[in-house]
Amino acid sequence: MTTSILSRLWSRRTSTPTTTAEAAGLMPAPAGVEVTGRHLAVGDGYATTLVVTGYPAEVGPHWLEPLLTWPGRLDVALHIDPVAPALAAQQLRRRRARLESARSIAASRGKLPNPVAEAAADDAADLAERVARGGTRLFRLGLYLTVHAATLPELQDAAAQVKALASSLLLDTAPATWRQLQGWCTTLPLGDDALGMTRVIDTDALAASFPLSSPELPGPLPGEPAGGGVLYGVTLDSPGVVWWDRFAQDNHNAIVLARSGAGKSYLIKLETLRWLTQGATAVIIDPEDEYRDLAGQVGGTLIGLGEPGVRINPLEIPPTERRRDALTRRCLFCHTVVAVLVGETPPPAERAALDRAVAAAYAAAGITHDPRTWRRPAPLLADVATQLTADSDEAAHTLAARLAPFTTGSFSELFDGPSSHRPDGHLVVWSLRALPDELRPIATLLVLDAIWRGVDVTETGRPPMLVTVDEAWNLLQNEHGARFLYRLSKAIRKRGGGLSVVTQDVGDVLSTELGRAVVSNAATQILLRQAPQAIDQVADTFDLTDGEKQLLLACRRGEGLLVAGTDRVAFQAVASPAEDRLCRTDPLAAGAPAANPGDSALDDGDLGALPADEQTFPGLDSAGLDEDDMP
């Protein structure tokens, strides 16, 4: 027979006047609790409480960890009540008297010694001596386990699994029969032991029960969707896995900080592959040509900037543009492009001359504010330089001379024609390997602008998009590029995308205000192995403990720390053999057997997985953002 009752945890008796919040239904309480002899029905789920009645004779450090890391929703409540020293000494004397009396009677009757009684007597004598000397204290310990499930069959299976797990730890459990409501209340964070089934233990055994927190990331609560996310790896402190959904967080951005060779590129490739299987799209800015093979294997699009015939025109109006002020936005973006090219914000006179030249270049090309003219061929950067030269202002001539290397000189090949490629496909890789170092900041900026053109399109039901900026220090070294990246990190969430910033120069990110702002706008933060010179700065920024600092200094390739607000977990990236072949860019990817992750002969930053025999698992512009997105 079952009985339906209202929860008495938060509500009062009907005879007690209710408060305004209670009358308005604002108190955090379930609609009702259905109590049976073996389980409770709470809201949309079911729960049953088990009481630990027997403990092992000896316990080791973290002996409760298998219960804390059980792959399901399990509330583990540990109630601790200290015993006064005088009362503890009195109880120990009585206990020793009973044990010694039983041993003397057995000896007088010629019986063989009972090994259990002998061990108990010796333990009681040792414990009494340590309590008398102040070397330890006694505590009453109550350990209770509440198992949750969505249905009754699932609850029965889950309870059986928890009982089996407890038995493997030499713990005896018993259901709180007809006391399920008290058991459920006992495991709530109220600090009230309504069952009172305790066992006396000493300080050493109690200390071995800590820490009480789990090394696992929190799982979804009953009623919350459990789908989504991808596998990042296995935890280093437990047998569990790290399954994380960055698109379920407050924002979808991620940042990966690591020293050279720590495995950050390998991890990003794994994450990209696994999100592609979920239907997402991905765009990667690749400075070192590490993602070329990956794009070829999965049918992606590769755009190699700096290669013959590959060009990108910053003055082109996107064909998907529908805003009436699109021409004005392009003119403003041209100011940002020129500032990055010359390495600083031009003086006011040069900016005024540039504004006139850009407007004149568009007018000469027949492009006006009429959207019907936007399909005409856009002017080039060289056309803007021509207009600057034709200007009578001396400041215009000075700016034209500063732009000469990019319009008619050594670096003009990237800008001397219309854009040669359309970044279409489920995976688009922009390779910057063929570019000289002087052009990489501006190339990264232009690529981000082209990416924004694809992101800033209003579509319903569009799959999530991952935008990865590898070696982001190239862009963060420039103030305008860093500001551009910051605005992208603020605005991309509203378009259903997520920005991943990957860099090995931690100091360049954390030493500037804009760099720290990019970090703070990333809900998912991954720290792999760090250099000793940067560890203090990283620890201050991410509030790391001493143990976490030592982990990041000593971890192997592919090992690191995932930080998401108050949740953090140490993990190691793992890949199936098929994923491993796709993610490697070293000669081993051609089919040779995988080597040890510590092999220094492998490509820098490309290793993060276990060896094969240890595998565990088969155009943004300066005016194109909302006002609240501006820094």
**DSSP annotation string for 48-88:** EEEEEEE--S---TTTTHHHHT-SS-EEEEEEEEEPPHHHH
Cα dihedral angle (225, 241, 291, 530), rounded to 10 degrees? 120
- Give the three-state DSSP class for 187: coil
Distance (Å, whole) CA 478 – CA 6: 62
| Strand-pair partners of 369 | none
Distance (Å, whole) CA 380 – CA 358: 10
Residue 17 dihedral angles phi and psi, to the nearest 5°: -60, 140
Residue 550 pLDDT exceeds 80? yes
Distance (Å, whole) CA 362 – CA 369: 10
Q: What is the mean pLDDT of residues 327-353?
A: 90
Strands 301-304 and 281-286: unpaired
Residue 135 pLDDT exceeds 80? no
Least confident of 89-93, 581-585, 594-598: 594-598
- Give the three-state DSSP class for 569: strand
HSE-CB at 532 with a 13 A cutoff on CA atoms is 1
3 state SS for 579-631: HHHHHCCCHHHHCCCCCCCCCCCCCCCCCCCCCHHHCCCCCCCCCCCCHHHCC
Q: Which is higher by pLDDT, 617 or 452? A: 452
177: confidence class by pLDDT, cuts 50, 70, 90: very high
DSSP 224: S
pLDDT computed for residue 347 by the predictor: 92
Distance (Å, whole) CA 607 – CA 584: 7
Q: What is the mean pLDDT of residues 266-274?
A: 93
pLDDT computed for residue 219 by the predictor: 62
Least confident of 143-147, 379-383, 487-491, 573-577: 487-491
Q: What is the mean pLDDT of residues 519-541?
A: 89
- Which residue ranges form the domains of the chain, and what is each CATH number? 1-12+30-78+139-198 (no CATH), 314-418 (1.10.8.730)
CB neighbourhood size of 505 (10 A): 20
Least confident of 152-156, 253-257, 480-484, 596-600: 596-600
Nearest to 230 by CA among 498, 552, 512, 2: 498
Nearest to 446 by CA among 316, 280, 630, 627: 316
Enter the tokens of residue 100: 């010694």
Distance (Å, whole) CA 367 – CA 387: 15
CB neighbourhood size of 255 (10 A): 25
HSE-CB at 269 with a 13 A cutoff on CA atoms is 31
84: confidence class by pLDDT, cuts 50, 70, 90: confident
Q: What is the mean pLDDT of residues 65-85?
A: 85
Nearest to 251 by CA among 526, 565, 510, 539: 565
Distance (Å, whole) CA 469 – CA 430: 10
Least confident of 34-38, 125-129, 290-294, 439-443: 125-129
CA distances from 444 to 374, 430, 432, 457, 584 (A): 25, 9, 8, 21, 24
Quote the mean pLDDT of the chain: 79
CB neighbourhood size of 432 (10 A): 25
Strands 138-149 and 45-54: antiparallel
Distance (Å, whole) CA 193 – CA 190: 9
Strands 465-469 and 281-286: parallel
Could you give the residue ranges of the DSSP H alpha helices within 109-252? 115-132, 152-168, 180-186, 203-207
Judge residue 57's burial from the number of C-beta atoms within 10 Å of its C-beta, 0-12 exposed, 13-18 middle, 19 or more buried. exposed
Distance (Å, whole) CA 98 – CA 183: 33
- Assess contact for 464 and 496: CB atoms under 8 A: yes
- Assess contact for 263 and 558: CB atoms under 8 A: yes
326: confidence class by pLDDT, cuts 50, 70, 90: confident
Residue 37 pLDDT exceeds 80? yes
Longest dimension (CA), the chain: 122
10-27: per-residue pLDDT in tens? 333 333 344 444 444 455
Distance (Å, whole) CA 18 – CA 242: 45
Least confident of 43-52, 116-125, 235-244, 438-447: 116-125
DSSP 246: G
- Assess contact for 429 and 302: CB atoms under 8 A: yes
